[in-house]
Structure 1
Amino acid sequence: MTQNSTVIIIKYSFISNAISLFGNAMTNTKSLIFFTLLMQVLLVACSSTAHDRGSRSKPAICARCNNPIAGEYLVALNKAWHPRHFYCNACGENLQGSHFFEKNHRPYCESCFNKKFSPRCDVCRLPLNSKYTRDAWGYNFHSHHLSELETCFSCARLICKNITNGGKKYKDGRLICNICRKTSVNSPAQAAKHFSRIKKFMASHGLVLPNEKFPLQLVSMTVLRKSNPHFRDVAGRTEKALFEVNGVEKVRRIEKMQVLDGLPAEHFETILAHEFGHAWLFLNNFPVLDLQVEEGLCELFEYLWLIEQKSEIARFRMKKMRETKDKIYGGGFRKALAGYKKYGLKKLLLQVKKKKKF
């Protein structure tokens, strides 16, 4: 807490000095009586003044050395100090007449206070000034680091030594921090294991895929962007095929499902939950839906999965989904979520299948 540098300086003067002033005037009895009355008035006045200032009959005690104070002293932090003892508790700089900061009832100069007690930047560990940024993870850092450092493609943390222990740049240009890389999915066997978890969860909500098998591929961002040129940060894709004979639909089939490689397991599973939605809607004979409606439903499937995870990263992703301004994904999700809260999942899906809208 910043304290004003102004302190009260109190002086003791002795009434006995008045004797020398009036001593020569006491030449008769009337003068002596007058002087006696005058001294009584002065004593009462001085006593009242001392009481008003909070002084006591005993000398003030210095907050630094705990010794009685004779003569001038300072009043600061509701304590008395010898002037020479009112100094910075860290460096010893005398603070009389200076602005100071208080911590645990002790004074500090501004420089020492910042070094010892100011919040530290999570990037560079230097004291934070008044201009700093707090991210979604609760990290505090100087705002200029935002233009100096890259963020993780998956978790959006600033990639640096003190927050993520660095990171890695993939060949497709993505930057993944070392926190996320600890659980990165890089093999078909890993992918299949995570997809089994998603299918089990969706089945608990009455969403079951046919037993047909289709390839689950791990691909780069470069591959996904070729198939989805309008969505630069796409993380998954489900390729569908519909076969007709004489204009009559005969077979619906999932040709393949693609998900970005190198994602952390939890992120990989959220993408799988979304892509599961596309596959389920198609294989359950839903009509061709407006893009906002279909993506909104698939985002809802992803959101339901995240609710069950009860983790910090899941809460981060859920908040991001609720707040995104994208009209297709964000707008569609919010409409789907509102429908889910109003009707429940089963009734919402029946309505969309029948009316092609929420």
Structure 2
Amino acid sequence: MEWTTNIDRTLRSNNGRNGNEHISLLPMLLHSTDGIYDQEEFDYAKALSLSEMEVVKQRIIEKHKMEAITAQIEEDEQLANAMQLSLVMESSLTNGSAHASSSRPFSAAMSKILCAGCNTEISIHEHVFCWNGIVWHIECLLCLTCKQLIKDDEIPYINGVVKFSEHPFWAQKYCPSHEDDGTSSCVSCERLQPKGINYILLKDGRSLCPECFSFKIMDTNECQPLFHEIQEFFASLHMKLNQTIPLGLVEREALNNAMEGEKNGHYHLSETRGLCLSEEQTIPIIHMRKHIGRHSILDILTQPRRLVRNCEVTAILILYGLPRLLTGSILAHEMMHAWLRLQGYPNLKPEIEEGICQVLAHIWLKSKINMGSDASMAATSSSSSLQPPCSNKQGKLSEIEKKLGECFIRQIELDASPAYGDGFRVGEQAVSKYGLKETLDHIKLTQTFPV
């Protein structure tokens, strides 16, 4: 029937305006003045309107039911959290334990509880973790490695303070067991591998996090622009090296073998990442690399190279696969070794020589973080065969690379070894007090840092 089709079309058109809007045809027919609708049409429209009203009524009832259920759930959760916090407060106050005085998880006078992790107030809307009267936000006690709550048996309680493992720079809280259970850590920034994040495995077994991997330097040709930048850095300090020093990026095994072939030298106890070579040796130098899979081993191609001694320094060797700023700091360190030898400095104690070399690495890193952009960095970015994806055309450090640089600075400052750590701290104090030139002159005369 044509008139029923017209009514259905009108109904669909009006309902299409808003899915929740009720449009009845009955009033439209009652107020119609053109007289085109007969009694049968009127009865049909009335039936449709009543059906519509019933559907809308059911929708409204269901909506109110869902709102009531949701409100009840929220009210129950708030009540449960409030009761939990109340019990914690009452227990801690009545027991007179050391928890409140040493870690100060709450203030009784203000009737509020502070999270022992972030020291912010805990509200009744938040889920908490309670341990020996101390309250934490759940997220403040999540292990960033396994994404689970740090286990109770792994949280020792000492003098009223909860202890757990935490990275000194990244502030990553993690289960102490991850230090010994084979969990991968980035060889560069030292962050443990979080669950669900793929680390990149290098051929020699070292792992890199995605951020450090994005700034990696993998072969000798790729490192040349950075090597020239370090040379310009030394020239700006009036410490220009006039001799040509060969550079080579090498694997861990080749670096360790070269280190064993040296008669003199002082090396880091944990892992050697650079070497100022003074003896003639044949070293397999990395000249190319290739990918094998997206997150699997990166293969490299090496070529044996005979390094001949033409002066006190034969070559500088650097461990491959490290990010640009870390590689640059290692280059600055080894370049300082070369400068000391070429300037005729006598054999120095490890804490003096390694300490002053760390001071130069520290100065270079801080110059990159503070300046963020200079001509040499721009040249590095434009000349490199693999331009870091996070650096812009002006050579400014991205926030990611800047944060990594701050991490490498902190690594130098917190080094616990006597030669590299203690030596750096004494050397930095001397340079801060007397300047670099006077410190170096004093070292050459007395073989000690000025005090």
TM-score by length of 2: 0.51
> Does residue 268 of the first structure (1) align with residue 301 of the second (2)?
no
> Does residue 141 of the first structure (1) align with residue 200 of the second (2)?
no
1:216 and 1:104, CA in 2 relative to 1: closer, same or farther beyond 3 A? same
Contact kept in structure 2, 1:100 and 1:110, CA below 8 Å: no
Q: CA deviation at 1:105?
A: 5.5
Q: CA deviation at 1:221?
A: 1.2
Distance 2:416 2:126 in 1: 49
Letter in 1 for 2:329: T
Give SS of 1:313's match.
helix
Give SS of 1:213's match.
coil
Range that drifts further, 282-291 or 298-307: 282-291
Contact kept in structure 2, 1:241 and 1:255, CA below 8 Å: yes
> Does residue 313 of the first structure (1) align with residue 404 of the second (2)?
yes
Larger-Rg structure: 1
Give SS of 1:89's match.
helix
1:232 and 1:172, CA in 2 relative to 1: closer, same or farther beyond 3 A? farther
Distance 1:87 1:236 in 2: 64
Letter in 2 for 1:140: K
Q: CA deviation at 1:280?
A: 1.0
Q: Which residue of 1 aligns with 2:189?
A: 155
Aligned identity (percent) is 24
Deviations 1:126-161, CA, capped at 9 Å, x for gaps = 455674533221233344333331211111000234
Distance 1:89 1:183 in 2: 47
1:123 to 117, 139, 145: 145
Distance 1:108 1:188 in 2: 53
Distance 1:283 1:272 in 2: 16
Give SS of 2:322's match.
coil
Q: Which residue of 2 aligns with 1:235?
A: 273
1:288 to 344, 347, 360: 347
Q: Which residue of 1 aligns with 2:441?
A: 350
Contact kept in structure 2, 1:88 and 1:108, CA below 8 Å: no
1:153 and 1:90, CA in 2 relative to 1: closer, same or farther beyond 3 A? farther
Mapping for residues 1-358 of structure 1, pairs under 5 Å: 89=74, 95=80, 99=84, 118-119=139-140, 120-127=142-149, 131=155, 132-135=164-167, 136-148=169-181, 149-162=183-196, 165-210=197-242, 212-228=243-259, 231-240=269-278, 252-310=311-369, 311-358=402-449
Contact kept in structure 2, 1:202 and 1:208, CA below 8 Å: yes
Q: CA deviation at 1:290?
A: 2.2
1:262 and 1:204, CA in 2 relative to 1: closer, same or farther beyond 3 A? same
Contact kept in structure 2, 1:87 and 1:96, CA below 8 Å: no
1:199 and 1:92, CA in 2 relative to 1: closer, same or farther beyond 3 A? closer
Letter in 1 for 2:275: R
Contact kept in structure 2, 1:88 and 1:109, CA below 8 Å: no
Distance 1:182 1:97 in 2: 47
Distance 1:188 1:109 in 2: 52
1:296 and 1:104, CA in 2 relative to 1: closer, same or farther beyond 3 A? closer
TM-score by length of 1: 0.63
Contact kept in structure 1, 2:200 and 2:209, CA below 8 Å: yes
Deviations 1:260-290, CA, capped at 9 Å, x for gaps = 0111111111100101101111112222222
Q: CA deviation at 1:124?
A: 3.5
1:161 and 1:266, CA in 2 relative to 1: closer, same or farther beyond 3 A? farther
Q: CA deviation at 1:332?
A: 1.7
Gaps of 5+ in 2: 1-70, 87-112, 114-121, 156-163, 261-266, 281-309, 370-401
**Count of residue pairs the alignment pairs up:** 260
Give SS of 1:238's match.
strand
Distance 2:126 2:403 in 1: 40
Distance 2:320 2:363 in 1: 23
1:299 and 1:105, CA in 2 relative to 1: closer, same or farther beyond 3 A? closer
Contact kept in structure 1, 2:332 and 2:360, CA below 8 Å: yes
Distance 1:270 1:161 in 2: 30
1:284 and 1:121, CA in 2 relative to 1: closer, same or farther beyond 3 A? same
Distance 1:325 1:126 in 2: 31
